[in-house]
Amino acid sequence: MTSRSSKKRFHSSPDYLLPRHAVLVHCHEVSLKGRNRAHFETLLLKNVARRLQPAFTFSPRIRRFFGRLLVSMPDSESAVQAAEMIADVPGVVRVSVALRLSQDLDLIYPAALELMQSAEPYTTFKVSARRANTEFPIDSMELNRMVGGWLHDNLVDKTVKLRSPDVTLHLEMLGGSAFLYTQTLQGVGGLPVGSAGKVVSLLSAGIDSPVASWRMLKRGAQVIGLHFSGRPETPDTSEHLVQMIADRLEPYGGLHKLAIVPFGSYQRKIAELVPASFRVIIYRRMMFYVAEALAKQEGAKALVTGESLGQVASQTLDNINAVNAVVNLPVLRPLIGSDKLEIIAQAERIGTFEISSQTHEDCCTLFTPRNPETHASLSKVERIWATLPVEEWLAEIMTEMEYIALRPAEERSYPQSVDTAQEVLLPIEVSVS
Ligand code: ATP
Ligand code: MG
């Protein structure tokens, strides 16, 4: 024991009273990343902190803890609230709301009993004990037998069932503490945002591209949203919807930046210069061209779209190819093999569907021909492209691009995290009825 922690043992200040409630965050895939593990866990810690910070008046204490994160909370209500929020953070596999006490069986028994008495109605249970090292003298098999046997003797009408019981009481001996929990939430999985580099995501106010952006967040990318609005030819409704979509993505790590291009006058120019059936392809080429310029400016290494093969006329392989050929960066299409119904179900789960379903005029509904080309020939598209002053347009668009303020920087600051401090546990009081 360090002198620092032995000092704490006798300290009478309430600051040193240990919180009894904790959230244990399990991050499986993150832990598998070998030498990168510390880096990934630290990123996850920051993202979890960022997620929790606006929700509480106090700063939750978060630290890396035996391949997990440990979030200390002052009461069970805030622990449950925090756990529900943390479950949405990419990189989180499971979240448990735990009681934390010292490694003392006289405390563990009554706490375990109280936890089991307050669990949802059940008839069968088991105890699943684990110890991180041998600092605690009793091994996990023996702990299972001791705590399980004691619970069995003290719980009325409950039986032990080792395979698929209704309730499992987890008892984890970690870092000098005992953690007890019965409730575990499934996390969103994936990797912590910031671990996979930056992408520019072409974000309409439609159903698909918010889902595509979310999938990239889930795989750890920092997502820069780029929206083309029909302004000044249309009202700016789509811009407001995109900002609402950005808010909905906030729990999952949020957009890194959001850029808007007023594209209406360029569409008008394209409509004047390009045969009707090729207009949509040329609009989209121009969007990709701008997106690649933004990616270079921001150090992003790929573009992202919400395209799904064959979903609409512009998403045939020929048209995808005719548009794609204008850029050199990889274009990622996370929804390419998804059906509309799957995409809608995911949009509903992440909360963007309701916004995307609002009718609006964006740049895509402007000057849209009645019979767009569905199998565009690349050489023909390139010939048309070569007649247009695209470099001039690009230079203008890059100066007209507007960056939308997302959450203010001060709200993004991270609360205090405790990484190395050894805390000494004070016994918790548990009443046994
Ligand atoms: P979405 O639902 O994402 O709008 P969609 O089914 O309407 O997709 P399209 O309109 O052909 O299909 O758009 C295909 C992709 O092109 C979109 O998923 C998006 O990535 C990009 N895109 C389309 N319109 C815009 C826009 N106004 N601003 C930014 N990107 C756009
Ligand atoms: Mg669309």
Give the pLDDT confidence of 19-38 residue by residue, as tens digits.
489 999 998 665 565 667 88
Helices 279-298 + 390-400 axis angle, to 10: 60
For ligand 1, what atom is nearest to the CA of residue 228?
A: 28
pLDDT of the residue at 381: 97
Could you tell me which residues come within 8 angstroms of residue 309 by beta carbon, excluding any fewer than 6 positions away?
A: 315, 317, 320, 336, 337
Cα–Cα distance measured from residue 363 to residue 225, given in angstroms and rounded to the nearest whole number: 16
- pLDDT at 170 exceeding the cut of 50: yes
Residue nearest to atom 23 of ligand 1 (CA): 204
pTM for the predicted model, two decimal places: 0.86
Q: Which residue has the higher pLDDT, 214 or 417?
A: 214
Residues 185-189, mean pLDDT to the nearest whole number: 94
Collapsing DSSP to helix, strand or coil, 93 comes out as strand
Average pLDDT value for the chain: 86
**Measured distance CA(274)–CA(284) in Å, rounded:** 13
pLDDT for position 31: 56
* Ligand 2 centroid – CA 307 distance (Å): 9
CA gap 12, 124 in Å, rounded: 42
Report whether pLDDT(3) > 60: no
pLDDT at residue 188 tops 90:
yes
Pocket residue to mutate for ligand 1, from 200, 203, 207, 209, most atoms within 8 A of Cβ: 209
At residue 57 the predicted structure's pLDDT band, cuts being 50, 70 and 90, is confident
pLDDT for the residue 29: 63
pLDDT exceeds cutoff 50 at 426: no
Residue 316 CB less than 6 A away from ligand 1: no
Q: Which of 12-16, 230-234, 260-264 shows the lowest per-residue confidence on average (mean pLDDT)?
A: 12-16
Is pLDDT of 231 > 60?
Answer: yes
Alpha helices by DSSP H, listed for 262-387, are 264-273, 279-298, 317-324, 340-350, 353-356, 378-386
Phi, psi of 338 (to 5 degrees): -95, 145
Predicted pLDDT of residue 32: 60
Q: What is the pLDDT of residue 94?
A: 96
* Long-range interactions of 85-88: CB distance < 8 A, separation 24+: 85/51, 85/52, 85/55, 85/251, 86/23, 86/25, 86/48, 86/51, 86/52, 86/187, 87/185, 87/186, 87/187, 87/188, 88/51, 88/187, 88/188, 88/251, 88/252
Sequential DSSP letters for 58-79? S--EEEEETTEEEEEESSHHHH
- Residue 209 CB less than 6 A away from ligand 1: yes
Distance CA 118, CA 150 (A): 17
Q: Is the CB of residue 364 below 6 angstroms from any atom belonging to ligand 1?
A: yes
Mean pLDDT along residues 89-118 = 93
Q: What is the pLDDT of residues 336-364, one digit of tens each?
A: 999 999 999 999 999 999 999 987 666 66
